[in-house]
Structure 1
């Protein structure tokens, strides 16, 4: 499986500085990294910071969490087919919502090949203290990027007083008590902290969640060995907790030759017929998804 990290944060927060330093650490430890960079403009300014020897794919002029979702899937498939790598880093735009970015990355077509390690959000500490000056939309996105992170870098801490540093950590912990918070400068983060993350829900009997693995926002692949009616499947979905944010994949439906494409978001479901024999599996994204009972499973 390929380890995958999502780097999140506003423009100017220090994501690219973190990326360059993490790539250096990975190569020093013998890893083969690859990078996908998402930029809203048509010119790939940030990608110039990545060495030529690192496999790089770019998503330009669109956001990974909306119109760029299909592009992201295509770029990951291309990397899996063409490139020799064992760690993939995806740097999102500052406009990317963490849940939707994770949704764009985690396709049922290759979900079992990826081990989503976590979302690392870089927060400009000064901007955090001055967040009330942001527009309501920008402030809301800033809070969401913090709330759903598995690791938070309180960056540019050298610009703060000791009292301000303490205040930043206190407020970030209040918004996201599950994430580890690292005060840093120039986006520096020890590789060990990244390795300890684990946002992919693994089978409990194989590898139980350990201390330091924050599974509050996680993803889970569910495979099916039998078919259902659409009504049965939708009844199961309606019974899921509100902390399930996204479901997408291919569901075997009785009477249908091929599994149907199923998508769920914001309480709404969508079915679309498929004309190929796609793998009968779905990807679920939400909080604590590993504990949810799956349709068709026998209760102990």
Structure 2
């Protein structure tokens, strides 16, 4: 008996972890045992901390992407989950800049292929960020190519944050998505709420289709295979991360101003900090023009992760330090 695996893809900040929480709850309510393989592009996994309350076995793959730099670790991580926890289902949440094809291909590697079977690919699409118009593929940036590939190879397209957009953009977005993927069910998702039963049975009852032939490595020419690998290695598109550990509590108003003033080069930011006024741990998320701060669920390490292109690290660190409330000198 093979263990079903569901792959969650979607660009940075598109709501994958919120959806994952919904799926984990649905699986557990049916008496089944889920496990999670969490991939994070950075030194620490914020998303793993966010699901720790779900009390499910979780393995982290950090400092890279499962489709390229840490692919060799995927086999070991999967086998660890299978052998140590024997789950009924595994959810693999890929980093927001991962391409799905190589991830699927890696699930065909021995010995993983003898123990797990891919049952669905879900792509979260941020309604506020997905481009309605794109240049021809040969002119697209690596990040644009990534967003398109995530949509193109999904079994289900989950449109998130649609409530933050005007109706005309929502309709235009759905039309744009249909240009990239005509077959996948298109579902609007609000705050991660989705029909879990439909998602978990999408391949069996809705699409009834096999994997694309190009996912089967034996059918590809060596030339084509090498070309695919070279293209996949550009999936980060020059992205880098900045990991900052807070040394003291933070002034929330100053931090909000920091988030609102982040340059366009920052595509995503997230983490935890301690509120200097209340003393409580706070969770923050940032996508362009949409920062969010809320109470964290319990104690967390205080750190910030910023993801973007050509980050001005020294300046960003200086601005983060300015948000901290300096401790008074001890007498």
RMSD of the alignment, in Å? 2.6
Q: Distance in 2 between matches of 1:148 and 1:42?
A: 28
- Per the alignment, residue 311 of structure 2 pairs with none
Residue 31 (structure 1) shift: 1.5
**Aligned mates of 1:83, 1:93 — CA distance in 2:** 23
Which residue does the alignment assign to 2:224?
Answer: 266
What does residue 211 of structure 2 align with? Answer: 217
Distance 1:263 1:103, change over 3 A: farther
Give the superposition deviation at 1:99: 0.2
Once the 2 structures are TM-superposed, how far is the Cα of residue 40 of structure 1 from its aligned partner? 1.2
Q: Distance in 2 between matches of 1:112 and 1:264?
A: 24
Cα distance change on mapping 1:38 and 1:14 into 2, 3 Å = same
Find the partner of 1:244 among 187, 193, 214. 214
* Gap change, CA 1:244 and 1:156, over 3 Å in 2: same
User: Which runs of no fewer than 5 residues in structure 2 stay unpaired?
Assistant: 228-331
TM-score (norm: length of structure 2): 0.61
Go from structure 1 to structure 2 and tell me whether the alpha carbon gap of 1:188 and 1:35 turns closer, same or farther (over 3 Å shift): same
Kindly report which structure 2 residues correspond to 1:104-183, keeping only aligned pairs within 5 A, or say none.
Answer: 104-129=106-131, 136-183=141-188
Alignment correspondent of 1:277: none
Q: Could you say what secondary structure the match of 1:266 adopts?
A: helix
Residue 268 of structure 1 deviates from its aligned partner by 5.0
Structure 1: where are the runs of 5+ without partners?
199-209, 219-242, 249-261, 270-300
SS in 2 for 1:178: coil
Say which structure is richer in helix: 2
Within-5 A mapping of 1:1-20? 1-20=2-21
Q: Give distance in 1, aligned partners of 2:222 and 2:123.
A: 26
**SS of 1:41's equivalent?**
coil
CA distance in 2 between counterparts of 1:148 and 1:164 reads 23
CA distance in 1, matches of 2:71, 2:195: 30
